[in-house]
Structure 1
């Protein structure tokens, strides 16, 4: 028979047994549970924290993208002001084009009506000066030559270098104001910028001048 085994109650556990509650083991456990949560958690398991740490930049990036997409540097008042300005510009251009269409058709009364609307209601736009040129030509044709010449003289300053107004003013000054020297100066400016104004067919067919102003230009060119 084999050796008789000693009763379990009489067995002595070795001092190195992990369940032997020596002061050293108690101290190690106390140290373990006294660590900060983040440190002790990393000792127990690191996988969940690593996953969370890896997800933080992605969440932050998505949040930044969402904020950037929703950000609008233009406020509501600025948008409304821009829309109003765009609408006014469109209205003014339409009126100017209609005035030119009637001018091309030889209807200077209706042309005067549209040019005047641009001048009176949209004078804050720079291109309203071109409507003043059309208005001056129409005024000249319907017989209001004094106002037409005053308009031409004013526009020749605000649109200095615009050949059409200089040529028109030259013709009017020569015939209606009997001022050949002033007319010559204006016509010199016009033809230096655009020699076409020496051609009567150009002002008639391309620029659609009224018959009365074409006649005045012809008299100036021929000095008659």
Structure 2
């Protein structure tokens, strides 16, 4: 049986001969889809090759930290810190006893610092306190020897020069040497001309304060 285009049913005829509105919708749909595909391809082609070839990975692990100190160096540092702390506490105790006027106890603690921590530079300041305590308890010969020695190792430290000046004048009857030491002390710190300063601020023992008074008044 022959068929012709004119004999198609309504539904088949509609498919074979779409209406103008259907043609317009098809043209508007397919070019748009093609345009989006083209834009995606253009974007991919514009990316650097390293990005295209890279694969997603988890966050990089942090690099291991570098510690320049060995365990033995850390242990030595901790031991040194402990010794410094112990020595400082002893020195503070000695000065507390000195401030209270307990010079025998001050002498014991100053002596401990000098004996056990003589490798520390601040042990020289403990020697100053020890010399003052020795002077007070009556061992003036050793006290003056200590002052003379420390006046060299701590040259320019005004307290030791002032103390030595007082002792040289009162006990050694050496006014010229005393004047030289006192000139150094007062050039660096004029407070040492004030008896209340050495007594109340520096906590000198009464015997050394008396010797300094004799020197200042030339009596």
Using the alignment, how far apart are the partners of 2:209 and 2:161 within structure 1? 14
Hey, what does 1:99 align to over in structure 2? 94
Match of 1:34 in 2: none
Tell me how far 1:163 sits from its aligned partner. Answer: 0.4
Give 1:72 deviation, angstroms. Answer: 1.6
Q: Does 1:156 align with 2:159?
A: no
Residue from 53, 64, 67 that aligns with 1:72 = 67
Determine the C-alpha separation between the residues in 2 that align with 1:186 and 1:208: 20
TM-score calculated relative to the size of structure 1: 0.73
Structure-1 residue corresponding to 2:123:
128
Distance 2:100 2:211 in 1: 20
Deviation track 1:110-153 (CA, whole Å, cap 9, x = no partner) reads: 00000001111111111111100000000000001011001100
Q: How many Å separate the matches in 2 of 1:92 and 1:189?
A: 29
Aligned-pair RMSD on alpha carbons? 2.1
Partner of 2:12: none
User: 2:183 matched to 1:180?
Assistant: no
2:141 to 124, 142, 146: 146
Distance in 1, matches of 2:90 and 2:145, equals 23
**Matches of 1:93 and 1:115 in 2, distance apart?**
11
Structure 1 runs of 4+ aligned residues shifted over 3 Å read: none
Instruction: Give 3-state SS (helix, strand or coil) of 2:204's partner.
Output: coil
Match of 1:210 among 188, 195, 205: 205
1:220 matches 2:215: yes
Secondary structure of the 2:63 match is helix
> Deviations 1:68-121 (Å, cap 9, x if unpaired)?
x3x321110000000000000000110000000000000000000000011111
Give the one of 40, 43, 53 matched to 1:50.
Answer: 53
Distance 1:51 1:162 in 2: 71
CA distance in 2 between partners of 1:217 and 1:51 (Å): 86
After TM superposition, the structure 1 = structure 2 runs for residues 192-207 of structure 1, keeping only pairs within 5 Å, are 192-207=187-202
Mapped to 1, the partners of 2:146 and 2:86 lie a distance apart of: 23
Structure 1's unaligned 5+ residue stretches are 2-45
